Amino acid sequence: MAEQPQPISPLKNFFAGGFGGVCLVFVGHPLDTIKVRLQTQPKPQPGQAPLYSGTFDCFRKTLVGEGVRGLYRGMAAPIVGVTPMFAVCFFGFGLGKRLQQRKPDDVLTYPQLFAAGMLSGVFTTVIMAPGERIKCLLQIQAATGETKYSGSLDCARQLYREAGIRGVYKGTVLTLMRDVPASGMYFMTYEWLKNILTPEGKSVSDLSVPRILFAGGLAGIFNWAVAIPPDVLKSRFQTAPAGKYPNGFRDVLRELIREEGVTSLYKGFTAVMIRAFPANAACFLGFEVAMKFLNWVAPGL
């Protein structure tokens, strides 16, 4: 394994991760909108065609019906949440690595990197769950033609008024089920690929931009390969009317499998995978660029 950059600075990870998250949202949000609409579209009545026949049909109908702005519906919530969320995510990963080091120059194994990544998933759920809830509700609102919420803040206010803080944080358990293992896979894969792609005798900190983009993009693919089934359950649960699923994700899972089969757990797969590579490539490139800048301006941070 190639030598890891030392020392690990969770604080630098915090700031660089926030910038990387902003890069991810700008690149990936349009296909996230498509993903959520595919995952939450109603089951068609007998003899009727589904609202969307697939990823490209959903993209076309959204673009024709709502223009480019339709692809960016609900982006305010993740933009507001994404900087602290990814900052906390990368901070959690940096902290997870630091906690497992006995000495500052210890090189972590891949299982240890996976564990550090899982810790980052726990850290981000507090920020991620309400942002995801608001984002999903706004994304499906435009598709159904309703205008219940005028924007992210109005959505948050209405959710809080209707059900208190529990209404805002609906779907937290499913967000944990998605993000903890997926984050472990995400960071472990990225570090693994960086080590593989680093030429003999070189440092991972000198990796070229194309190799960083490749490693980050592929890490995103591996992340979503793990995350899609709980993400489908989360989207359904977070956008369902109050009281529809009294037993939480178990009711959602039973209903989906009973009515649409196991393949329904992979709804939006194409949209997710098309989005995963460029969005996460942008995220890790933004992170690495910001980290180099921080190392230059504040080497002792």
The pLDDT, as a whole number, for residue 29 is 85
The CATH architecture of the domain made up of 10-197+205-297 is Alpha/alpha barrel (1.50)
Per-residue pLDDT tens digits for 13-65? 999 999 999 899 888 888 888 888 887 887 788 888 888 888 889 889 888 88
Q: Which two tokens stand for residue 34?
A: 């498509």
pTM of the model: 0.78
Per-residue pLDDT tens digits for 213-251? 999 999 999 999 999 999 889 988 988 887 888 888 889
pLDDT band for 192, please (50, 70, 90 cuts). Answer: very high
Question: Taking residues 137-157, what's their average pLDDT?
Answer: 81
Per-residue pLDDT tens digits for 249-300? 889 999 989 988 888 888 878 878 888 899 999 999 999 999 999 988 888 7
Q: Which residues does 222 contact at the CB level (< 8 Å), separation at least 6?
A: 185, 186, 189
The pLDDT, as a whole number, for residue 194 is 95
The pLDDT, as a whole number, for residue 5 is 46
With beta carbons less than 8 A apart as the criterion, state whether 236 and 20 touch: no
